Amino acid sequence: MKVVTAAQMQALDRETIQGVGIPGVVLMENAGREAAKLILEHFPDASSKGVAVLAGKGNNGGDGFVIARYLRGQGKRTKVYLFAPREKVGGDARVNLEVWLRIGGELEEITSEEGFLRVKGEIAEAGLIVDALLGTGLSSEVRGLLREAIEFVNGLKKPVVAVDIPSGLDASTGKVLGTAIRASLTPTFGLAKLGQVISPGAELVGRLEVIDIGIPPSLVERAGIKTHLLGPEELSPRIFASRPPESHKGTYGHLLVVAGSPGKTGAAAMVAEGALRMGAGLVTVAIPQSLNPILEVKLTEAMTEPVPEEEGFLCSDSLPSLLSLLEGKSAIALGPGIGTGEGVKEVILEFLRKANLPLVIDADGLNVLSSHPQTLREIKVPFILTPHPGEMARLVGLGTAEVQERRIEVAREVAGEYRCVVVLKGNRTVVASPEGEIFINPTGNPGMASGGMGDVLTGMIGGLLAQGHPPLEAAKAAVYLHGLSGDLGARELGELPLLATDLLEFLPLALKEVTSGVGAHLPLEES
C-alpha cells in the first residue's frame, strides 16, 4: 500500500482538480459517501443511537457535512456541531453545508466555551461521534475550543470515526500537535498518510480504511511515491509458491550461521531455527569448538561445525575454517551473540571483506562494524543490516533518541550510503532499499520486547536469502511474517508471556494466514 505525506496528497488532489478537471466538490462527495458506508458497515448499532458530527470550517468539515447527509438518508438521527461561525465556511465545504441546511439537517454553531457547554450533554448521548474538525493540512498545535472538543470526545469512551485523519494528528510525522482524537475507525481518502502508519499516530487511527475518491491511478503512478505500508500484497509471490514435486533439500539453499559465544549459544540456535522454519533446505552453524556440544543438544534439524577459538570466542585462527565453510553454502547469517572483543573484530571484519555469498548482519556483527564502518564499503556481495535503534545509533554516530525521531530518514540514508537493505527494528519496523524505497511494517506488538526476537528474525531473513530470494524481498517478507507470528502468539498466549521461541511455533500459522489472504488483525468491534 502506497503511503504519502500531507504535501504529496495535496499535490495529487490539486492535479486531479486542476489538471484532470474533476471538481473538488465531486471528490468531497465521493469521500463522504464512502465514509458513510463504512460507518454503517462497522457501527450499525451505535449509529442507530444517534450520530454527532463535529465539524470544522475547512474541507474536513465539508466531508463531515456529506457524511451527515448520507447517514440521515439512511434513517440515522444525525446532528452537525459546527465549531465555527457558518459564514467562515467556504469553498466546497460551503456548498455541502448549504445542502445540509436545505434538506432540513440540524446544525448547531459552537463559537464559545459557553456554547459548547450547552451542547455537551446531547453530544454525550449520541451513540457515535464523527470527528470532522481538522484535516491533513494541520501543522500547528491545537488550542482553545477545538482542543477542548477533542479532549471531551476522548473522555466519552464512545466509538469515534475520524474523517481522513484524527484531528490533532500531523499527517506527515505522526506527531500529536497538542492533543489528538483517539479514533475507532479512520476512513482516509485517496491514499494512506505517513502519519497514520508510524507512531504515535498509528496508535490513534484505530482501524484504517483507504477510500478511493476518484484520483486517477495514472497520477499516483507518476507521483513517484517511494513509501509503502507492508502487507501481503507487498510480498513476493515467489516466496509462497508451491514446491515442485521433484525438489529436494538442496533446492532450497544452505545457510551458514556465524553466531554464538559463552552464555549466548541460544542466539545461534534461534537463528538456525528461524531459518529452518522459513524454509531453508539446510542450515549449518559455525560455533567455537568448546561450545559445539551445547549446540549439538540444542539443535536437531541444523548441523554444526566447530571452529578454532580462544576461550569460547572466534579468533584469527577461526578465519580459515570460516572461509572454507563458504563452500557449498548459498547465504550467510552473521552476528548474534558472537561478542565484540578484539580477536572477534579481527576475524569478522576480514570474513566480511572476503565473503562471497549474500548475507544478513545483526547484533554483535553490527557492533563490530560501528567502530569500522568503512568495512561496509568493502563488502562485495548483497547484504542486509538489521539494527535495533541502539545499534543503528552506534553505527551512524547519532543518539538513540535522534534515530527514533528520524527512523525513516536514517534508514533510507544508511541504505543509500552503503548500497544495502536496512531493517531498522522497533515499533513499526522500517525496511529501506538502496534505491530509497521504504516499507513500514504494521505487524508486531509490545509482547515481542524480549531477548531472542531479533535472532529469530535474522534466521528468517537468512533462510530466505539462502533460497535465492533478493535481499529486499527477503527482508520484507521476514519482517512482516515475524511480526504477524508475534501477533498470533499474543492473541493466543497474551503479550506478557510471549517468548522468541513461541514465534517459531506460530510462524506456520502466519504463513497460512498470508497465503490464504487473511490479515493479521482482529475484526473491529463496537465499543
The fold of the 3-225 domain, in CATH, is Rossmann fold (3.40.50)
- Entry field: residues in the chain: 527
The reported pTM is 0.94
- The dihedrals phi and psi of 341, each to the nearest 5 degrees, come to -65, 170
> What are 117-136's pLDDT values in tens digits?
999 999 999 999 999 999 99
pLDDT the model gives residue 47: 87
CATH of region 252-515, choose from 3.40.920.10, 3.40.1190.20, 3.30.1180.20, 3.40.50.620: 3.40.1190.20
For CA atoms 8, 164, 196, 483, give the dihedral sign. Answer: negative
pLDDT for 527:
31
List the Cα angle 282/272/425 in 5-degree steps.
Answer: 125
In this structure, what C-alpha cell is assigned to residue 22? 474533476
| 3-state DSSP assignment of residue 363 | coil
* CA–CA distance, 375 with 344 (Å, rounded to integer): 15
Bridge partners, 193 (sequence order): 4
* Residue 518: per-residue pLDDT: 44
Topology alike, domains 3-225 and 252-515: no
> Pseudo-torsion of CA 25, 27, 29, 34, nearest 10°?
-170
Helices (H), 358-499: 364-370, 389-396, 400-405, 407-418, 453-466, 471-493
The residue whose grid cell reads 547484533 is 363
Amino acid at 89: V
Tell me the C-alpha distance between 174 and 307, whole Å.
48
User: Domain residue spans in the chain?
Assistant: 3-225, 252-515
How confident is the model over 2-50, as pLDDT tens digits? 999 999 999 999 999 999 999 999 999 999 999 999 999 999 998 889 9
Residues of the chain whose pLDDT is less than 70? 517-527
Neighbour count for residue 270 (Cβ, 10 Å): 28
